[in-house]
Amino acid sequence: MTSMLQAGPQLSLSEQRTLRAEAMFDEFKWDVRCEDLEVIADFPLLLEHSTFRHLSAIAEGLSDELFAAEQELLVRPELHRKLGLPKSLCRCLREISVEPSAGAARVLRFDFHPTRDGWRISEVNSDVPGGFIEAGALARRVARFFSGVVVYGDPACAYMRVAEQNNRQVALVLATPHSDDHQVMFHLARVLQRLGLQTSLVGPGALRWKNGRAEVSCHYAEGMPSVIVRFVPADWLRVLAGRESWKSYFRGSRTPLSNPGYALLTQSKRFPTVWDKLKTPLHLWRDFLPKTICPSSAPDFDSPEWVIKPALGRVGEDVAIRDCISRDLWIDVLRRARRHPHEWAVQERFVAIPIETPLGPMYPCLGFYTVNGKTAGVYGRVASKPLVDQDARDVAVLGLSEAGR
């Protein structure tokens, strides 16, 4: 299977330096270093067209099933606590008399891994997927060093083109002191500005809703955004947005949100634990996501056969595989998962297949974006261990054109 996905040649030192400088200063990728790790891989991944089409079709099918399940979950509040959502969020989502907030440009990213049993997904990022810079702009810059290759789309452009339809003012909402989050919104702002749109980056508390319409009102930005693009995890909004405003990210907003806060219903790693209670068929999900259950249903979840994940974890934080992380971290995660099993999920571990790269064997992960259910690009990461977390490298995913084959 890995013949369908292979590492390309290593960039020369001069090409690496050029790429790094361009990433930082032309594309706003500021997190180029993580402790001792150079974050941008100095080689691309080459993905066969047939495999790209195959995985695209799966991602689109998974998207359709996810949206159907989400609609059902919105009217099944009795399942929300089982998803590991905080009580206050469940109370907000339970207010069925208030319409769910309008959604716009639904962007998802499915993380595919080559495994001994074929391609599998480890999760979907249905709330605030990142990686836009790397999947599009950075991949294009890597591609120019090779002949006969193509880039599989630019998710930032595809996403923003859908988001901007009939909209003139776009509020880009972020709330973090981390410049590596800020860079994503800078990048999206630039895409929108090139489309001729007005943008404003604001914190979640700068938005107020009046009669369902969002309003930006702070010292340097004001106006009525016609769409809101959010890069704040929805479960943080209770803290970061105003006492009443945060609820509008979930219910009651007539200003479309991308993504709406209720994306958390499927972002939760415990989503599979309610499948049997849903009428929505989830055939593809059952085929491609390894068995995922509550820790309380898996007495042996401390064995290396399981992956332990927090229900609302991000970027691989707290994801634990016994022989892939430090003993201290493993013990800490186990302790917390045992104490609060309903805030965690355990997933059967698949046997990931490494590929040979200029840096030695690496485990690849391909994040397929869909925007409103259509494939929009691929975000590649490679890790030296079979766990793709914050220590993984970003890698350009390129296709071989007919000429390059």
Partner 1 sequence: MKTAKEIYSIWAPETSVWSPWVAPVIFHALEALSDAKRDITPEFGHAPIPVSPGEATAVILDLPGAESVRYAITLAAKGFCLVPLFNSSPAPEKDLVSLALIPSAPTTFPAPTEQATVSMRELLFAMLAATDVLSAKQTPAAAPPVFLLDSRRLKGDKPLQAGLFDNRWMVFPQDFPSARFLLEHGIRRVLLVQEAEASPQKDLAHVLLRWQEARLEISSFATARSGNVEAIIVPRPSWFRAVWYRALAALGLKRNPAGGYGGVFPGYSSG
Which residues lie near partner 1 (CB under 8 A)?
17, 21, 24-25, 30, 32-36, 38, 169, 174-179, 182, 185-186, 189-190, 193-194, 196, 198-206, 216-223, 232, 236, 239-245, 314, 317-318, 328-329, 332, 390
Of 151 and 175, CB closest to partner 1: 175
Query: What are 290's two structure tokens?
Result: 């390894």
Of 91 and 283, CB closest to partner 1: 91
Of 174 and 366, CB closest to partner 1: 174
With both helix axes pointing from N to C terminus, report the angle between 179-194 and 155-163 in degrees, rounded to the nearest 10.
Answer: 60
The nearest distance, CB 368 to partner 1, in angstroms, is: 26
The nearest distance, CB 269 to partner 1, in angstroms, is: 15
220: left (phi over 0), alpha (psi -120 to 50) or beta: alpha
Beta bridge partners of 151: 398
Alpha carbon of 161 to those of 52, 156, 181, 213, 261: distances in Å?
22, 8, 21, 22, 21
The nearest distance, CB 16 to partner 1, in angstroms, is: 11
The nearest distance, CB 405 to partner 1, in angstroms, is: 35
Q: What is the DSSP letter of 64?
A: H
Of 329 and 351, CB closest to partner 1: 329
The nearest distance, CB 36 to partner 1, in angstroms, is: 5
Rounded-to-integer distance, Cα 44 and Cα 395, Å: 6
- Sheet with 5-7, strands from edge to edge, namely 5-7, 45-47, 397-400, 149-151
The nearest distance, CB 238 to partner 1, in angstroms, is: 10
Rounded-to-integer distance, Cα 296 and Cα 299, Å: 7
Of 177 and 360, CB closest to partner 1: 177
Rounded-to-integer distance, Cα 205 and Cα 241, Å: 4
Of 310 and 399, CB closest to partner 1: 310
The nearest distance, CB 205 to partner 1, in angstroms, is: 3
Rounded-to-integer distance, Cα 120 and Cα 349, Å: 11
Of 2 and 179, CB closest to partner 1: 179
